[in-house]
Amino acid sequence: MSDLAQQLRDPNFTPGIHKLVPLGIQHVMAMFVANVTPAIIIANTAGFGFGSDAGQFGFPDMTYMIQMSMLFAGIATLFQTIGLGPVGARLPIVQGTSFAFIPIMIPIVAGKGVEALPTLFTAVLVGGLFHACIGFFIGKIRFALPPLVTGLVVLMIGLALVKVGIQYAAGGVPLIGKPEYGSWAKWLPALVVIFVTLGIKFYARGILAISAVLIGLIAGYLFSLAMPSGLQWASVVSQWEKASSFAAPEVFKYGFDFSTAAWGAIAGMCLMAFVSAVETVGDVSGITKGGANREATDREIRGATFADGLGTAIAGMFGGLPNTSFSQNVGLVALTGVMSRHVVTVGGLFLILCGLVPKVGAIIRTVPFEVLGGGVIVMFGMVVAAGVSILADVKWNRRNMVIFAISLSVGLGLQLEPGALQHVPELLKNLLTTGLLPAAVLAIALNLILPTELADEATEEVSGGMAGHNND
* Coil, strand or helix at 96: strand
Q: Are residues 414 and 349 in the same domain?
A: no
Contact by Cβ (8 Å): 120, 108 = yes
What would the mean pLDDT of 424-429 be, rounded to a whole number? 82
Q: Are residues 258 and 275 in the same domain?
A: yes
Q: Does pLDDT of 247 surpass 90? A: no
Choose the final residue of a domain: 371, 392, 413: 392
Residue pLDDT, tens place only, 250-259: 999 999 898 8
Q: Are residues 231 and 97 in the same domain?
A: yes
48-71: b (≥16 Cβ within 10 Å) or e: bbbebeebeeebbbbbbbbbbbbb
Contact by Cβ (8 Å): 345, 77 = yes
Choose the final residue of a domain: 330, 362, 392: 392
Q: Are residues 458 and 370 in the same domain?
A: no
Q: Does pLDDT of 2 surpass 70? A: no
Contact by Cβ (8 Å): 341, 333 = no
Residue pLDDT, tens place only, 320-358: 999 999 877 777 787 667 788 999 999 999 999 999 998
User: Crossing angle of helices 102-109/117-134, nearest 10°?
Assistant: 150
Looking at residue 468, its pLDDT comes to 52
Q: Are residues 100 and 200 in the same domain?
A: yes
Residue pLDDT, tens place only, 85-116: 999 999 999 999 998 898 889 889 988 888 99
Q: Are residues 117 and 201 in the same domain?
A: yes
Q: What percent of the chain has pLDDT over 90?
A: 43
Looking at residue 56, its pLDDT comes to 39
Phi, psi of 334, deg, nearest 5 = -65, -35
Kindly state the greatest CA–CA separation across the chain: 81
Pairing of strands 323-325, 95-97: antiparallel
Question: What average pLDDT does the chain have?
Answer: 86
CA angle 285, 28, 309 (to 5 degrees): 50
Q: Are residues 193 and 231 in the same domain?
A: yes
Residue pLDDT, tens place only, 456-465: 555 555 555 5
CA angle 256, 433, 101 (to 5 degrees): 45
Residue pLDDT, tens place only, 433-466: 888 889 988 999 999 999 886 555 555 555 555 4
Other Cβ atoms closer than 10 A to 382: 17
Q: Are residues 382 and 415 in the same domain?
A: no
Residue pLDDT, tens place only, 265-314: 998 899 889 888 888 887 888 888 777 778 889 899 999 999 999 999 99
Q: Are residues 141 and 121 in the same domain?
A: yes
Residue pLDDT, tens place only, 117-153: 999 999 999 999 999 999 999 888 878 888 898 889 8
Residue pLDDT, tens place only, 221-235: 999 999 988 888 988
* Coil, strand or helix at 145: coil
Domain range for 472 is 395-472
Domain count, the chain: 2
Choose the final residue of a domain: 372, 392, 412: 392
Q: Are residues 364 and 318 in the same domain?
A: yes
Q: Are residues 283 and 207 in the same domain?
A: yes
Q: Are residues 414 and 269 in the same domain?
A: no
The pLDDT-based confidence of 49 (bands split at 50, 70, 90) is: low
Nearest to 292 by CA among 90, 88, 77: 90
The pLDDT-based confidence of 53 (bands split at 50, 70, 90) is: very low
